[in-house]
Chain A
Amino acid sequence: MVFIMGLIGAVAAMGFELWTEGSDYALVTAGKPHFSWQAFVPIMFEVTVLFACFTSGLGMLFLLNRLPYFRHPMLRSKSMPHITRDKFALAVEADGQTLDVDAIAAILRETGAQAIEVIEQPAPPGLISPNFLFRVVLGIGISCLVAGCLTYWGVKLFPVSIPVVHMLDQPRLDPQRAGSFFKDGFGMQMPVPGTVARGQLPYTIQKQEDAAVLANPLPGSESVLRKGRQTFNTYCAVCHGLLGTGEPMLTATYGAKPANLVAEKIRDYPDGMIYHVIMAGKNAMPSYTADLSGEERWSVVHYVRVLQRALNAKDEDIPKEARK
């Protein structure tokens, strides 16, 4: 049972770590992958030990020794009030076979005992009685309730106050604060010249025609196309329409009709030139660099190609068996 509880502890810790690190609060730590079993092991080990210890300790107390034992037969002794006050008692446990009760009583009488009682041991209750289970569940429930309320109200009623500062006081430099570490007294420093953020390679192409050399790095796979459709419908369809034909709805506002993306002119564009428009904007259209990541931009290019082909389908594009 201890072993099984230990295993449960290990699995519980593992599951908890997978959940926090994998889905609930996925934080990249030290550049390691989210599923780094090495980092999980210490916590799994501790929780395994915790569960196993609790099981063996509490199991010993409550299952093997059957505590709390309020109806111990000794308590039914008529001399009990005296024993707790001003007299001594000697209890001899006899199972009736190995020890002769009468002989013991005789010995005790010889040595001058004031009172001798024979107390029958009632049949022990079953290991796990409904009453016992009820008390265990009740005990756990009350403990949880008390601990939860204490924690909740404790935090509510006694907010940040010394010494309970809830980790607010940390030896770190907050953003936008002065600091003594650097010569200029600023806590925050400008990035080193030439710094490039991850996934933010600088885009230096000025003319749309020059962008023709760019090739789409993404494959035209289903997942890429799905992403392209989602991005297109979010950002592009407002003006260009869900089919890319150019909605006339916003013409009055901008003074020009949004481009028809499935027209022959744009069909003949290389991928790079469509990409360039998303990067740099064109006519009334602003740049979408801040809104779309590089990957999203290239998926949109793929999806525009899909729209172009779908709206200009030829007979050969239809499978033979589907043609009439």
Chain B
Amino acid sequence: MNRSGAAKILALGALAGLVGVLATGFVAGWERFWVNWIFWFLFFLTIGLGCLFIVALEHVVGARWSVPLRRVPERLSSLAVLMAPAALLGLLSLRVLYPWTSSEGLNDPVVAGKTVWLNVPFFVVRVVVCVGLWILAYRIFVRGSARQDHDKDPRFNVRARRFAPIFMVIFGITITIVGFDWISSLEPAWCSDVFGVYIFAGTFLAGLAVTTLAVLYLMARGRLPEVAPDHVYNLGGFLFAFTVFWAYIGFAQYLLMWYANMPEEVFWYKERLQGFWGPLVLVLAVFHFFVPFLALIPRDAKTEPKRLIWVASLMLFAHWLDLYWMIFPVLGKGLVFSWPELSFGVFFVTSCLLWIRRAMSRGADMPVGDPFLKAGLEFRL
């Protein structure tokens, strides 16, 4: 099949998914529609933001080894830009999904005490500001890097390195806001200080997993010449380290709530540990931590494409499952997975793949104008 043929199939898939998406609203109800919407949009938003974070991380620490690979997360981070309109559209879900927008939700004194933060105008302002900051960071890091391909201007590196620490702060705050606003406030009585860090851990892992998959894909196509197994090893090492980080944060959050046993905290876990959700947590722990951790211990596993591909895919799936486990219990219906979820999946996956294909086909596959590219290619462990 030629390349435009694949694009046509993807476009057809997106159209078919769109039909299912619209049908969800009219047939299965708008609550189901918006839960799916924020779930899928957050899944791809976190991938995009994770990739943007990887790019910024390289600039902030002045890493050389990752320069040849940088174009991959740069292109993938355009998902965050694609999800900007999805976030704005998602604002329509406020009245449907979020209890703090209704007067009966505010009957709970705990929720009523949070209206300083949880009110519709401020929520909208936060979303718009966050999206604006991400697009600004995208323009500085990614567009600037693409421009450097032509003008070879080393001043880009200086600019990026100056902005990167500022972006780290912005990223830390905005990713926390994403977690608090979109996910945590679905059940506004609940709060967890570490929730932002937990979301960050998942975001970074998702970005890493997709970057690893894309790097291996491009390497198999011969589009990243001179990239050695040593570069791939570092990606594998990152995956290995941060799967432990995710488990650490996730367990820390659970342990403290379990220990304190406060009714306003444990109800969130109670909902998510009972019935169908209990075994799902085990699956999550196994796929998000135990399997990747054990699989990535041997040195070869961090370079061998076949093993890395399935570990990275597994972690991406686990991140998806993580979000599903956090968001879908608010419907209060137990296991909800049927044609609406599938059509949303088809719609979002195909449109994101189309978007990524477009990004991948433009410009060079490596930052050819970066003065550190040669040093990066010479990197050996």
Contact A3 B259 (CB under 8 A): no
Determine the chain B residues whose CB is within 8 A of the CB of A223 once the complex forms.
none
Determine the chain B residues whose CB is within 8 A of the CB of A32 once the complex forms.
259
- The chain B residue with its CB closest to the CB of A42 is B255
Contact B259 A41 (CB under 8 A): no
Q: Does A97 contact B (CB under 8 A)?
A: no
- The chain B residue with its CB closest to the CB of A2 is B297
Which residues between 234 and 288 of chain B lie within 8 Å of chain A, taking CB atoms?
248, 251, 254-255, 258-259, 261
Nearest-neighbour CB distance to chain A for B118, whole angstroms, equals 30
Contact B251 A30 (CB under 8 A): no
Q: Does A234 contact B (CB under 8 A)?
A: no
A35 to B261, CA, bound (A): 17
Contact B258 A3 (CB under 8 A): no
- The chain B residue with its CB closest to the CB of A39 is B259
Residue from A3, A31, A38 in contact with B297 in the complex, judged by beta carbons closer than 8 Å: A3
Residue from A3, A30, A38 in contact with B255 in the complex, judged by beta carbons closer than 8 Å: A38
- The chain A residue with its CB closest to the CB of B258 is A38
Residue from A3, A31, A38, A45 in contact with B254 in the complex, judged by beta carbons closer than 8 Å: A38
Contact indicator per residue, chain A 54-72, by CB within 8 Å of chain B (1) or not (0):
0000000000000000000
Number of interface residues of A (CB under 8 A): 9
Contact B297 A30 (CB under 8 A): no
Nearest-neighbour CB distance to chain A for B260, whole angstroms, equals 8
A204 to B258, CA, bound (A): 40
A39 to B258, CA, bound (A): 9
Number of interface residues of B (CB under 8 A): 8
A141 to B255, CA, bound (A): 38
Contact A30 B261 (CB under 8 A): yes
- The chain A residue with its CB closest to the CB of B254 is A38
Nearest-neighbour CB distance to chain B for A251, whole angstroms, equals 57
Nearest-neighbour CB distance to chain A for B297, whole angstroms, equals 6
Secondary structure call for the B interface: helix
Contact B251 A41 (CB under 8 A): yes
Determine the chain A residues whose CB is within 8 A of the CB of B261 once the complex forms.
30-31
Determine the chain B residues whose CB is within 8 A of the CB of A31 once the complex forms.
261
A42 to B258, CA, bound (A): 13
- The chain B residue with its CB closest to the CB of A31 is B261
Nearest-neighbour CB distance to chain B for A2, whole angstroms, equals 9
A31 to B297, CA, bound (A): 38
Determine the chain A residues whose CB is within 8 A of the CB of B297 once the complex forms.
3
A50 to B24, CA, bound (A): 53
Nearest-neighbour CB distance to chain B for A127, whole angstroms, equals 20
Nearest-neighbour CB distance to chain A for B362, whole angstroms, equals 44
Nearest-neighbour CB distance to chain A for B32, whole angstroms, equals 34
Determine the chain B residues whose CB is within 8 A of the CB of A3 once the complex forms.
297
Nearest-neighbour CB distance to chain A for B9, whole angstroms, equals 45
Contact indicator per residue, chain A 7-50, by CB within 8 Å of chain B (1) or not (0):
00000000000000000000000111000001101100100000
Determine the chain B residues whose CB is within 8 A of the CB of A30 once the complex forms.
259, 261
- The chain B residue with its CB closest to the CB of A3 is B297
A271 to B254, CA, bound (A): 48
Determine the chain B residues whose CB is within 8 A of the CB of A45 once the complex forms.
248
- The chain B residue with its CB closest to the CB of A41 is B251
Contact indicator per residue, chain B 174-211, by CB within 8 Å of chain A (1) or not (0):
00000000000000000000000000000000000000
Contact indicator per residue, chain B 148-170, by CB within 8 Å of chain A (1) or not (0):
00000000000000000000000
Determine the chain B residues whose CB is within 8 A of the CB of A38 once the complex forms.
254-255, 258-259
A31 to B259, CA, bound (A): 10
Nearest-neighbour CB distance to chain B for A47, whole angstroms, equals 15
A31 to B262, CA, bound (A): 13
- The chain B residue with its CB closest to the CB of A32 is B259
Interface centre among A32, A38, A39, A45 (most CB of B within 10 A): A38
A212 to B128, CA, bound (A): 76
Nearest-neighbour CB distance to chain B for A45, whole angstroms, equals 8
Nearest-neighbour CB distance to chain A for B266, whole angstroms, equals 12
A39 to B255, CA, bound (A): 7
Determine the chain A residues whose CB is within 8 A of the CB of B259 once the complex forms.
30, 32, 38-39
Determine the chain A residues whose CB is within 8 A of the CB of B255 once the complex forms.
38-39, 41-42
A129 to B297, CA, bound (A): 29
Determine the chain B residues whose CB is within 8 A of the CB of A39 once the complex forms.
255, 259
Determine the chain B residues whose CB is within 8 A of the CB of A42 once the complex forms.
255
A32 to B258, CA, bound (A): 10
A30 to B259, CA, bound (A): 8
Nearest-neighbour CB distance to chain A for B290, whole angstroms, equals 13
A45 to B248, CA, bound (A): 9
Determine the chain A residues whose CB is within 8 A of the CB of B254 once the complex forms.
38
A41 to B261, CA, bound (A): 17
A247 to B248, CA, bound (A): 66
Determine the chain A residues whose CB is within 8 A of the CB of B258 once the complex forms.
38
Determine the chain A residues whose CB is within 8 A of the CB of B251 once the complex forms.
41
Nearest-neighbour CB distance to chain A for B263, whole angstroms, equals 14
Nearest-neighbour CB distance to chain A for B344, whole angstroms, equals 35
A38 to B269, CA, bound (A): 14
A39 to B260, CA, bound (A): 12
A39 to B256, CA, bound (A): 9
Nearest-neighbour CB distance to chain A for B76, whole angstroms, equals 33
Nearest-neighbour CB distance to chain B for A53, whole angstroms, equals 14
Nearest-neighbour CB distance to chain A for B141, whole angstroms, equals 35
A152 to B201, CA, bound (A): 46
Nearest-neighbour CB distance to chain A for B309, whole angstroms, equals 23
A32 to B248, CA, bound (A): 22
- The chain A residue with its CB closest to the CB of B261 is A30
> Given A30-B259, A38-B259, A45-B248, 10 more contacts at CB 8 Å?
A3-B297, A30-B261, A31-B261, A38-B254, A38-B255, A38-B258, A39-B259, A41-B251, A41-B255, A42-B255
Q: List 15 A-B residue pairs with CB atoms under 8 Å apart, sorted by A's residue number.
A: A3-B297, A30-B259, A30-B261, A31-B261, A32-B259, A38-B254, A38-B255, A38-B258, A38-B259, A39-B255, A39-B259, A41-B251, A41-B255, A42-B255, A45-B248
* Chain B residues within CB distance 8 Å of chain A: 248, 251, 254-255, 258-259, 261, 297
* Chain A residues within CB distance 8 Å of chain B: 3, 30-32, 38-39, 41-42, 45
Per CB-CB distance, the 3 closest pairs between chain A and chain B, nearest first, are: A38-B258, A38-B255, A3-B297
